[in-house]
Copies of this chain bind each other. A is one copy, B any other.
Amino acid sequence: MNQSIENEMRRILALADGERYHHLRHMMAYHLGWEGEGAGPQASGKRVRPLLVLLTASAAGGDWRAALPAAAAVELLHNFSLIHDDIEDNSATRRGRPTVWKLWGIPQAINTGDAMFTLANTAILRLELPPERTLQAARIFQRACLRLTQGQFLDISYEEARSLPLEAYWPMVGGKTAALLAACTELGALCAGAPPEAQEAYREFGEKLGLAFQALDDELGIWGDEALTGKSAASDLLEGKKSLPVLYGLAQGGEFARRWMAGPLTPEEIPALAAQLEAEGARDYTQETAARLTEEALAALERAAPRGEAAASLRALARRLLKRSA
Contacts and interface: CB of A to CB of B under 8 A. Distances in A.
A88 B115 contact: no
Given A118-B142, A142-B121, A18 B108 contact: no
Interface string A171-197: 100000000000000000000000000
A152 interface: yes
Interface in A131-178: 131-132, 134-135, 138-139, 142, 145-146, 148-150, 152-154, 156-157, 171
Interface stretch (A19-27, A41-49, A205-213, A294-302): A19-27
A96 interface: no
B115 A153 contact: yes
Interface in A106-126: 106-108, 110-115, 117-119, 121-122, 125
A152 B118 CA distance: 13
B24 A150 contact: yes
A15 interface: yes
Nearest to A142: B122
A111 B153 contact: yes
B108 A87 contact: no
Nearest to A84: B110
Contacts of A138: 125, 135, 138
Contact of A135 (B121, B125, B142, B153): B125
Given A106-B87, A108-B156, A118 B18 contact: no
Contact of A117 (B20, B21, B117): B117
Interface residues of A, number: 44
B118 A146 contact: yes
Contact of A156 (B16, B18, B111, B117): B111
A168 to B, nearest CB: 8
Contacts of A145: 118, 121-122
A29 B113 CA distance: 23
Given A131-B131, A139-B125, A149 B114 contact: yes
A29 to B, nearest CB: 14
Contacts of A149: 16, 24, 111, 114-115, 118
A110 B122 contact: no
Contact of A107 (B15, B20, B87, B122): B87
Rank and list the top 3 A-B pairs by shortest CB-CB distance, nearest first.
A88-B107, A131-B131, A115-B149
18 contacts: A16-B150, A20-B150, A24-B150, A24-B153, A88-B111, A108-B153, A108-B156, A108-B157, A111-B153, A114-B152, A118-B145, A118-B148, A121-B121, A122-B139, A122-B146, A125-B139, A131-B135, A135-B138
